[in-house]
Chains A and B, each alone.
Chain A
């Protein structure tokens, strides 16, 4: 079963605007990761944030984590048409396997 829920399910913005996606999860976690999936292609790892971190940046990406609310957000600044994709959050729990539990994803459309 899915651990996380992304919000919104779909998002359409103009190129240059910022896109914010949210993820909520249910159980205590070790790490939270964000992945991107382009149409017809594989899952690409974007960023990992550990449970003891609150914010992380990578290029145009900013991720926040609030473990008290069991939620995370992904902000993409100055969006480009090439950012059009589905974005998934994935958590791994405090056990030894690091298996990832994915949400159902946010489909982002960036209009040129």
Chain B
């Protein structure tokens, strides 16, 4: 079946603009995670949803970052007033049990 999909795959934006990153999890997966990965590093946790409920947002760097999953399926990670330091690969994962399956990621470049 289809894996986790993310869009866009690449996003170039100017500093100060808002961006919205989309994640479409594997059908039926209850849990959805967002991670951010800097070059040469492992992914770092941002936030986690169980169905539509945001259970943990301890990894969000500041209040410019927010996420939602209104119907318990597709999720959107929004970054407001982007800054150059927000440039990274943003990865989404979904799971039904312990194993998390990752999407291809969205590479964000803030100029």
Interfacial residues of chain A within 23-73, with CB under 8 A of chain B in the complex: 30-31, 33, 35, 41-45, 48
* CB within 8 Å of A: which B39-54 residues: 40-45, 48
Partner of B42, one of A41, A88, A92, A96: A88
- Could you say which of B44, B45, B103 has the most chain A C-beta atoms within 10 Å of its C-beta? B45
Question: B98 interface residue, CB < 8 Å from A?
Answer: yes
The CA of A35 and the CA of B33, in the complex, are separated in Å by 16
Q: How large is the interface on B (under 10, 10 to 19, 20 to 34, 35 or more residues)?
A: 20 to 34
With contacts A43-B91, A97-B48, A97-B56 taken as known, whether A103 is within 8 angstroms of B42 at the C-beta atoms is: yes
Partner of B98, one of A43, A98, A104: A98
Specify which chain A residues have a CB less than 8 angstroms from the CB of B40 in the assembled complex: 104-105
Interface residues of B in 2-60 (CB under 8 A from A): 31, 33, 35, 40-45, 48, 55-56, 59
